[in-house]
Amino acid sequence: MTNALFSFKIRETLSELLKLAWPVVLARLGIMTMGLTDAIVVGHYASRELAYHSLAWAPSSVVLTTAVGLMMGVQVMTARLLGEGRKAEVGAVLRRGTVYALQIGVVSMIALILLGPLGLKHMGLEDGLGEGASPVLIIFALSMPAYLISVAAQFFLEGLHRPKAGMVAMWVANAVNLALNLLLVPDILGLGLDGAIASAWATFGARMALAVFLVIFILRLPEAREWGLFNKPKRDKVVEREQIKVGVGAGSSNFIEVGAFAAMTVFAGQLGAAETASWAVVINVSAIVFMVPMGLGSATAVLVGRSYGSGDRAGVMRGGLAGIGVVTVLAFIIAIGLWLTAPLVVGAYTTDPAILAIAAPALVLATLFFVADAQQVVAAQANRAAGDVVWPTLMHLLSYGVIMIPLGWWLAHRIGVDGLVWSVIVASLISGALLTGRFVRIARRLPA
């Protein structure tokens, strides 16, 4: 009877995980599809414009991904309050999250505009690359506040187990982005915008559309008043602190990881324009793949957070291990598929022979880190949802900050773009092993 009940619980957890995960995964894939659309359109316009786009995206992605991590408390605390039966208080989580989004977005925008171009011009890049990327970076910065509001709204819906609206909104935004790219990059309207700048404006328009859609959707939901969205919330310092704590932990990890990858882009820029564009293709494809574990990680965090809120230790363990197991299988399948089709995938980005010769073998090599990278992101999300915030950040610091950055610089100046990929492989294996082991330990130590 006990075994039958255990099997039922496992099946129930897997079913709930997959039901929640697929729209979240599609929403996360939609985020990267915007970048993919930009890269493909700009790459066919001119390979040097693709280098501008990639270099502008590197510093903006560090700030953006860090800021998205800071918003993670919205998702986790919404799920925890539901697990605790405090449905009337979830609106306060979103209200706080929206205020945080505006504050973080405005500060991030100003910092990127003031410091970003200066940094690009003093990174030792090939002549002209920093100057060409600077105006693109400024346009990316202008969309930060709106985008972070959309992130808070998406995390809120996911925490409520209502991720489909966020998925639909993201793909509507992708349609807007594609339409604007096709109008602006070839300069059909005669505005005189260069390729990378035109594509950045397309991204700006798409992010604005995404934020407007989600805010209106949530405010019009029948349960909006029941959640307390229209009422000034009572101060709850415990929930407020925990929301900030989860966000700071996730944001710090994101900063370390994406900052390390941005450093890889800078190292590629020191090698030349062809290497920069080739690395841009490899990292863009890898980032799209990464959205699958990112989505599964979010779904896992919701299940673990709800079980943690209700005091269900067994549920915490089941939710976390189910997420890690499912993402391992999916990442392996994706890795095999890309290993077999790497030249075709790279050919979709560019027809430049120099870039094809570098990027195709590098993408084949990159498939070696897909499984470990997938495991580490899901395990990190599960840890945070189970109340463990500090250790995942320290493990990311070790793997990506202490190990990957110096190793990437050393290998890049010896074997080129392949050296950058090898450094990612090593860091991902270390991070995946440490974080998975940490989650199992944390889940076992929770009170029964």
Q: State how far the Cα of 206 lies from the Cα of 183, in Å rounded to an integer.
A: 13
Mean per-residue pLDDT for 201-206?
93
Residue with tokens 């805010």, as numbered in its chain: 215
Of all residues in the chain, the percent with pLDDT exceeding 70 is: 96
Mean per-residue pLDDT for 100-129?
84
Amino acid at 92: A
- Span between the terminal Cα atoms of the chain, in Å: 20
425 by DSSP, 3-state: which? helix
pLDDT greater than 60 at residue 48: yes
pLDDT greater than 60 at residue 440: yes
| pLDDT at site 16 | 81
Residue with tokens 């899901």, as numbered in its chain: 378
Burial-class residue 392 by CB neighbours within 10 Å (0-12, 13-18, 19+): buried
103 by DSSP, 3-state: which? helix
Number of Cβ within 10 Å of residue 395's Cβ equals 24
Instruction: Work out the pLDDT band at 1, boundaries 50, 70, 90.
Output: very low
Nearest Cα to Cα of residue 281 among 5, 54, 14? 54
pLDDT greater than 80 at residue 350: no
Give me Rg for the CA atoms of the chain: 21
The winner for highest mean pLDDT among 39-48, 57-66, 281-290, 329-338 is: 329-338
DSSP per-residue letters across 276-328: HHHHHHHHHHHHHHHHHHHHHHHHHHHHHHHHHHTT-HHHHHHHHHHHHHHHH
| Token pair for 247 | 């966000």
Q: State how far the Cα of 293 lies from the Cα of 322, in Å rounded to an integer.
A: 12
Mean per-residue pLDDT for 309-325?
86
CA 198, 45, 26, 257 torsion: positive or negative? negative
| pLDDT at site 46 | 67
Angle at 124 between CA 406 and CA 116, to 5 degrees: 95
Q: State how far the Cα of 59 lies from the Cα of 258, in Å rounded to an integer.
A: 9
Is position 274 within any domain? yes
Mean per-residue pLDDT for 26-36?
80
Instruction: Work out the pLDDT band at 448, boundaries 50, 70, 90.
Output: low
Give residue 90's domain range: 6-445
| Token pair for 367 | 């498939």
221 by DSSP, 3-state: which? coil
What is the residue-averaged pLDDT of the chain?
86
Nearest Cα to Cα of residue 333 among 300, 359, 367? 367
Q: Is the pTM of this model over 0.85?
A: no
DSSP per-residue letters across 14-36: HHHHHHHHHHHHHHHHHHHHHHH
- Buried b / exposed e over 96-133, threshold 16 CB at 10 Å, is bbbebbeebbeebbeebbeebbeebeebebbeebbebb
CA 36, 209, 23, 72 torsion: positive or negative? positive
Is position 1 within any domain? no
- Is residue 359 within 8 Å of residue 338, measured between CB atoms? no
pLDDT greater than 70 at residue 315: yes
- For the chain, what is the largest distance between any 2 Cα atoms, rounded to a whole number of angstroms? 72
Sequence-ordered list of residues with C-beta below 8 angstroms from that of 85, at least 6 positions apart, any chain: none
85-98 pLDDT, tens digit each: 888 888 888 999 99
237-249 pLDDT, tens digit each: 888 888 888 888 8
Lowest mean pLDDT of 137-146, 292-301, 422-431, name the range: 292-301
pLDDT greater than 80 at residue 58: no
| pLDDT at site 196 | 83
Is position 253 within any domain? yes
Amino acid at 323: G
Mean per-residue pLDDT for 301-327?
87
Q: State how far the Cα of 344 lies from the Cα of 61, in Å rounded to an integer.
A: 26
Q: State how far the Cα of 139 lies from the Cα of 57, in Å rounded to an integer.
A: 10
- Quick one: CA torsion of 161, 165, 166, 168, rounded to 10 degrees? 140
| 280 CA to centre of own chain | 16
Q: State how far the Cα of 306 lies from the Cα of 90, in Å rounded to an integer.
A: 13
Is position 326 within any domain? yes
Residue with tokens 């990437």, as numbered in its chain: 408
| pLDDT at site 324 | 93
140-164 pLDDT, tens digit each: 999 999 999 999 999 999 888 888 8
190 by DSSP, 3-state: which? coil
Tally the domains of the chain: 1
Lowest mean pLDDT of 55-59, 367-371, 419-423, name the range: 55-59
